[in-house]
Amino acid sequence: MKYKASRSILITGATGYLGGGFLAEVLTSNNSILLSATYSVLLRSSSQASLFTNLDVTPLVLQNTEDLTELRHIASNYDIIVNFAYNVMPEHAKALVLGLGDRKLANPDLRTPVIIQASSGTSNFADRPFSAPDRFKKLGIPLEFTDLDSNALYEIEKRLDAEEPYPLRTTDLNVIDTALEVGVKTHVVMLPTVYGTGAGPGNKISIQIPVFIKSVLKHGYLAVAGEGNGVWDRVHIQDLVALFKILISRILQDEDVPSGKDGLLFSGTVRNSWNELAHAIINVGLKLGKIPADTEVKHVDLTEAEKAWGLDGFPGLAELAFASNSRTYAERATQWGWEAKVLDMESDIEADWLAVTKDA
């Protein structure tokens, strides 16, 4: 047996949709490799600790959520950090990496510490079909991406971020570059549209589909930018958690897992256009009787769509994350034996409708 029982894992964002879903699935599994590690969760307030009473996990509460020195010190006590929380906070993510670097420096005989940047997004590789339709062509960037050439992905992220800084992408690059400087291993898991009900103790719904549902309820129609022909990948949270389990199992068993510039992983399983997704959301809402029979998908310009989605206060986000093309191939995880188990969306869109309208 290659793995040892002494590996300590810190999870940030465990009250959220992704981190909570991952933690709950791991701790209720019968996977002896995953259960050989000890788990702690980093919390922003003491009131959150009660969420983890029934889970075999140690809660740690930050005294000051903006104190990077405190964050760095906490990180220095762990072998592996699975970072779901700080995906658009470059300096906070960097503090975690520096803490792992401190651990390595103080304990040179330990295995190299690892950070998994667990909630990056494929919007990092999205085009801008409305504001800059020729951007990728001018930069010589392809329209589809595979994680079998992760070094190329890293270089593309560098070029895109130099042209237009984007917090999600900037954070990834900060993590990778800092880790290379201090000798820490990094793995960046890049998420497409994530759907399905989470199993965690806190938030159980994702982002993109609930944003659309809330917009329908508020405006009486679902806005789609332009024709909605942009195509994105998607993954069910159960399949995503399965990928994380494989990744962490490989790390715990000291199996080969590419890291650093070669450590970017995609996680998409199926594709759909924004127009297809919008019609699916409307159809489910009608079936559930949550919206009037004449509710429809409305094709509008990007500015109007931003307002309808409630994203006009976040310049550029709507186009990248709700109207673009982002086509990726999760080939590396597939080579490890990962495969999608959940491909249908309708039942999970129904669950999101019920969750969003529960307190409405």
Residue pLDDT, tens place only, 175-194 = 999 999 999 999 999 999 99
Q: Identify the CA nearest to 97 among candidates 10, 12, 182, 189.
A: 182
Residue 41's identity, in one-letter code, is: V
- pLDDT above 90 covers a percentage of the chain that reads 92
pLDDT at residue 3, as a whole number: 45
Assess contact for 95 and 292: CB atoms under 8 A: no
Instruction: Retrieve residue 71's tokens.
Output: 């964050």
Q: Is residue 1's pLDDT more than 70?
A: no
Q: Is residue 2's pLDDT more than 50?
A: no
pLDDT at residue 219, as a whole number: 97
Among positive and negative, which fits the CA dihedral 18, 21, 25, 26? positive
Tell me the pTM.
0.95
Residue 181 makes CB contacts below 8 A (sequence gap 6+) with 101
Mean pLDDT of the region 12-25: 95
- pLDDT above 70 covers a percentage of the chain that reads 98
In the chain, alpha helices (H)? 17-27, 32-35, 68-75, 90-106, 135-139, 150-163, 167-182, 208-219, 237-252, 274-287, 302-309, 317-322, 331-335, 346-357
Instruction: Retrieve residue 63's tokens.
Output: 């005294």
The distance between the two most distant Cα atoms of the chain, rounded to a whole number of Å, is 67
Domain 8-203+233-268 annotated CATH 3.30.310.10:
no
Q: What are phi and psi of 345, to 5 degrees?
A: -105, -25
pLDDT at residue 359, as a whole number: 61
pLDDT at residue 5, as a whole number: 46
Environment class of 160 (CB within 10 Å of its CB; exposed 0-12, middle 13-18, buried 19+): buried
Q: Is residue 74's pLDDT more than 50?
A: yes
Q: Is residue 131's pLDDT more than 50?
A: yes
Q: Is residue 360's pLDDT more than 60?
A: no
Question: Which range has the worst mean pLDDT, 3-12, 270-279, 339-348?
Answer: 3-12
Cα–Cα dist 263/79, whole Å: 18
pLDDT band at 313 (very low <50, low <70, confident <90, very high): confident
**Between residues 155 and 5, the one the model is more confident about:** 155
pLDDT at residue 315, as a whole number: 81
Mean pLDDT of the region 117-123: 96
Q: What is the pLDDT of residues 189-247, one digit of tens each?
A: 999 999 999 999 999 999 999 999 999 999 999 999 999 999 999 999 999 999 999 99
Q: Identify the CA nearest to 191 among candidates 248, 152, 234.
A: 234
Instruction: Retrieve residue 10's tokens.
Output: 């810190």
Locus of tokens 């958690």 = 241
Mean pLDDT of the region 63-92: 97
